[in-house]
Amino acid sequence: HSSAFRCLLKMVKGNIIVPEEILNFCCNGLQGSTSPPRAQDPGEREEALGDMATPLPARNPTEVQMSQLVLPCHTNHRGELSTGQLLKWIDTAACLSAERHAGCPCVTASMDDIYFEHTISVGQVVNIKAKVNRAFNSSMEVGIQVSYEDLCSGKHCSICKAYATFVAQGPSGSKVRLKPLTPQTEEEKIEYSIAAERRRMRLVHKDTLKDLLIRSPHDTELETRDGSGAVPAEKTRVESVELVLPPHANHQGNTFGGQIMAWMENVATIAASRLCHAHPTLRAIEMFHFRGPSQVGDRLVLKAIVNNAFKNSMEVGVSAEAYGQEMSSSRRHINSAFMTFVVLDQEGRPRTLPMVAPEPGDGERRYREASARKKIRLDRKYVVACKQTEVPLSVPWDQSNKVYLSYNNVSALKTLVAKANWALAREKEKVRMYTLEEDKFLSFRIEMSVCITASQAFSLLSNLRRRHEWDSHYVSAELVQKVDDDDMIYHVVSQMLRHENKPQDFVILASRRKPCSKGDPYVVAFRSVTLPTHPARAEFTRGETLCSGFCIWPESEEMSKVAYYNQATPGYLNYVTTNVAGLSSDICATFEACEKFLLKNKDDLISRLQDF
């Protein structure tokens, strides 16, 4: 090997100056010593192994970590990291993670809402971690966590969390079918399970806005406050063109999604500045959705305008269009986004902003839509972004938050299902009961195998109006509102509690989901909501449930595993069981009655389906 290596270095030496001393050193190093090897002392062996004796936990193969030192060239006039530069780094890290899983080039399809919690100063380090949460047919969701690190103080702080969707592309630009992803850790299992629900929420995002505008026109009317000092929206309009050069493109020749987002952020900032005559701070970005690619040589036209200004924030709408070198080439709509800005005073508090006077027609439409989006953002942030312990037991239900309440309902149950450390508390014949103690909650899981198909069990258990047939705690369940085929609201009346002299009632949102892909369970999730049509009444004690429901897995063509979960709050424990310490047989008895109900009614269900 030494002679071959010497020949290789001499070949290199023909093009690069390699001193003879280095050449001899390299070859001698390969030859090693001619003396026999010395036996290694056991103490030396232990010292050499060092930390290798304690293996590190397996790392997700799709995980990508990026650390960037913020330099003056990355910052704005305040010495803070430009949001556009951060978006480029986020997109790059996410793309590299997606390509690790796909094994082929990937393009950005969309980027979910991003809320920026802090700014980053020059000299600090941006740490980005990206990994694939779930792969669908040809698209995948990548989760991104961004934090900053102060090298002087050692302080770490979260900046934002984002979810991006990438599509794998073959050599000719065709879509590639992705291999499935197998989550390993508890966190990965939770993200994997909820990714399907986030995907569903993205698909209905536009319909949510349209529905709100149709159903709640009075909530989005033009403001009636004094508008004498209002700034015409036309004065905030910005249009800028960018030529796509090779440094702006990826290895496929397409413009980097992060570069397009950075250009869009730039023109949006200019539009916001024209309204407030100050330097605004970007607080949130609503979903980016890439409608088509652009290539090196394209011209990108970026347009921005302030759609609406609220008391302390403003929404800027921005779009990107691409066209070729020829004058006759038509423009292609590449992307649209909505960005929320604030203006901070010297103490870091949001300043009051001037009003916007929209143009008639499209301007007024954008104005109303901005008001609707603000309501949706607040609802979404309140319901979706909160930690489970911060969400109130009963959240008011209305048209603007129905999608996000449904998302929270299902994702909370899926999170509970994916938890580790469930302890077997009781096993009676087929029924197994597990408990999980965590924070303020005591959770129960009761499961059994039943001779019924998963779809049949799903159909029977998702109908709360039949729950009283097997659950003795239920007296009645009235269907109050059918939101859609997957979500319904019930008014439930239960038995009288021992320490109360009147029965309990609940207003419950029931959300049902069929499997997204093979291996997923059928899901029926329950949580309390409030409705103005069903306030608390004197003849009932209003009860609340935070998270409960069924998950049903097919075990064979005729067998299914049915599991019921309940995250019991202190006020709800009496309903679940009267003897937590002794693990009362009440729960197991109820579940045995559930099995009899399923077996009794599966044949009737089959007959009805055949008749239909």
How high is the pLDDT of residue 47?
A: 46
Query: Is a pLDDT exceeding 70 seen at residue 333?
Result: yes
Residue 28's SS3 state is helix
Residue 71's SS3 state is coil
Q: What is the pLDDT of residues 459-496, one digit of tens each?
A: 999 999 999 999 988 999 999 999 989 999 999 999 87
pLDDT band at 314 (very low <50, low <70, confident <90, very high): very high
Query: Is a pLDDT exceeding 50 seen at residue 1?
Result: no
Q: What is the mean pLDDT of residues 89-97?
A: 95
- Residue 139's nearest CA partner among 59, 195, 63 is 195
Q: What is the mean pLDDT of residues 588-595?
A: 88
User: Cα separation of 251 and 296, whole Å?
Assistant: 11
User: Cα separation of 36 and 12, whole Å?
Assistant: 32
How high is the pLDDT of residue 306?
A: 96
User: In this predicted model, which residue has the larger pLDDT, 5 or 260?
Assistant: 260
- Residue 140's nearest CA partner among 113, 115, 163, 114 is 163
> In CATH, what number does 64-215+229-380 get?
3.10.129.10
How high is the pLDDT of residue 171?
A: 80
How high is the pLDDT of residue 139?
A: 93
User: In this predicted model, which residue has the larger pLDDT, 569 or 432?
Assistant: 432
pLDDT band at 83 (very low <50, low <70, confident <90, very high): very high
How high is the pLDDT of residue 394?
A: 72
Q: What is the pLDDT of residues 197-211, one digit of tens each?
A: 888 888 777 777 777
For residue 100, what are the CA distances in angstroms to 86, 358, 547? Answer: 21, 47, 36
Query: Is a pLDDT exceeding 60 seen at residue 372?
Result: yes
Query: Is a pLDDT exceeding 70 seen at residue 93?
Result: yes
The contacts found for 471-474 with CB under 8 angstroms, 24 or more apart, are 471/590, 471/593, 471/594, 472/590, 472/593, 473/575, 473/590
- Could you give phi then psi for residue 541, rounded to 5 degrees? -95, 115
For residue 93, what are the CA distances in angstroms to 67, 90, 167, 451? Answer: 10, 5, 15, 47
Burial annotation 216-254 (CB, 10 A radius, 16+ → b, else e): beeebeeeeeeeeeebebeebbbeeebebeeebbbeeeb
Furthest C-alpha separation in the chain: 98
Query: Is a pLDDT exceeding 80 seen at residue 431?
Result: yes
Burial class (CB in 10 A: 0-12, 13-18, 19+), 72: exposed
For residue 363, what are the CA distances in angstroms to 231, 340, 353, 359, 367? Answer: 13, 17, 19, 4, 6
Say if CB 146 and CB 140 are below 8 A apart.
Answer: no
How high is the pLDDT of residue 420?
A: 87
175-189, 214-228, 303-317, 358-372: least confident range: 214-228
- Could you give phi then psi for residue 463, rounded to 5 degrees? -95, 100
How high is the pLDDT of residue 195?
A: 92
Q: What is the pLDDT of residues 30-40, one digit of tens each?
A: 344 444 444 44
Residue type, 317: G
Cβ within 8 Å of residue 381, ≥6 positions away: 115
How high is the pLDDT of residue 477?
A: 94
- Residue 572's nearest CA partner among 536, 539, 528, 524 is 528
51-55, 100-104, 450-454, 509-513: least confident range: 51-55
User: Cα separation of 491 and 493, whole Å?
Assistant: 7
Task: Tell me which residue has tokens 């607040």.
Answer: 378
What DSSP string runs through 382-395?
Answer: IIIIS-GGGS-SSE
Q: What is the pLDDT of residues 12-30, one digit of tens each?
A: 334 433 444 433 434 444 3
How high is the pLDDT of residue 466?
A: 93
Query: Is a pLDDT exceeding 90 seen at residue 543?
Result: no
Task: Tell me which residue has tokens 């599966």.
Answer: 602
Strands 541-542, 503-513: parallel, antiparallel or unpaired by DSSP? Answer: parallel
pLDDT band at 223 (very low <50, low <70, confident <90, very high): low
**Which range, 237-246, 357-366, 371-380, is most confident?**
237-246
Query: Is a pLDDT exceeding 80 seen at residue 386?
Result: no
How high is the pLDDT of residue 429?
A: 80
Q: Which CATH number fits domain 390-609: 3.30.530.20, 1.10.10.60, 3.40.50.300, 1.10.520.10?
A: 3.30.530.20
Say if CB 90 and CB 161 are below 8 A apart.
Answer: no
Residue type, 404: Y
User: Average model confidence (pLDDT) for the chain?
Assistant: 82
- Residue 220's nearest CA partner among 401, 398, 367, 400 is 367
pLDDT band at 286 (very low <50, low <70, confident <90, very high): confident
What pairs with residue 130 in β-bridges? Answer: 64, 144
What DSSP string runs through 444-513?
Answer: EEEEEEESS-HHHHHHHHT-GGGGGGT-TTEEEEEEEEE-SSSEEEEEEEEEEPTT-SSEEEEEEEEEEE
Domain spans of the chain, in order of start: 64-215+229-380, 390-609
32-36, 66-70, 111-115, 502-506: least confident range: 32-36
pLDDT band at 56 (very low <50, low <70, confident <90, very high): low
